[in-house]
Structure 1
């Protein structure tokens, strides 16, 4: 997580939050935005046995993309 915090700004990302989240486990959380590319990123490090379960450590990654206009004559497949 520290390498991400140090490396992402070199790739154009702005770190908007880095530290423990608000969960009982206080998982380490990194939130970053890339204004030029219109992406947002949320990465959480879940420690081993966080929340009382028996899961191994994990990175949970969420990527958010900005809205784009569908080109004329094209359709979007909705899920």
Structure 2
């Protein structure tokens, strides 16, 4: 088995991959320095194909219940801190949607885990509104590369 680059897929226990995604998500939370409401969902294991041992882990979460200005500042702080914390920013800018929210995408240099963060505020510029927005939030997706579970370990059990 190999990934899209032809390299062999690394073997890793799904619980180890989930724990690493949790840690990276926690690091990202520390980088934005915001104390809003954090969504409660944890990382999920997703099997690549039914009956195979290949899987990846995704942790989708968000921070909300803050002013658009606070969220915007936290988002820009994240962009500044990512390179200092071992992440390579691969894309930054407005997504191709009618809302034109800002997005940053990055890859962790050490282990190829990925991050996508989207700023959902009424105005994604530096002059975002100071009042709390009901829809305002930063949405994060932290994901692992594809792994192969050890023999006898079903990724769906984790």
The normalised TM-score by structure 2 is 0.42
1:24 — aligned with what?
Answer: 98
Query: Cα deviations across residues 2-48 of structure 1 (Å, max 9, x unaligned)?
Result: 11111011111001111111111110111001132221111001114
Q: Alpha-carbon deviation of 1:55? A: 4.0
In structure 2, the residue matched to 1:67 is 146
Higher strand share: 1
Structure 1 length normalisation: TM-score?
0.78
1:37 counterpart SS class:
coil
How many pairs does the alignment contain? 75
The two structures, once aligned, show a CA RMSD in angstroms of 2.3
Q: SS of the residue aligned with 1:14?
A: strand
- The residue aligned with 1:38 is 112
Higher mean C-alpha displacement, 14-23 vs 69-78: 69-78
Q: Identify the range of structure 1 (58-67 vs 23-32) with the bigger mean alpha-carbon deviation.
A: 58-67
Which residue in 1 is equivalent to 2:136?
A: 57
Choose which of 4, 9, 12 in structure 1 pairs with 2:86. 12
Structure 1 range deviating more: 69-78 or 3-12: 69-78
In structure 2, C-alpha distance between the alignment counterparts of 1:36 and 1:46, rounded to whole Å: 29
Which structure 1 residue ranges, 5 or more long, are not aligned? none
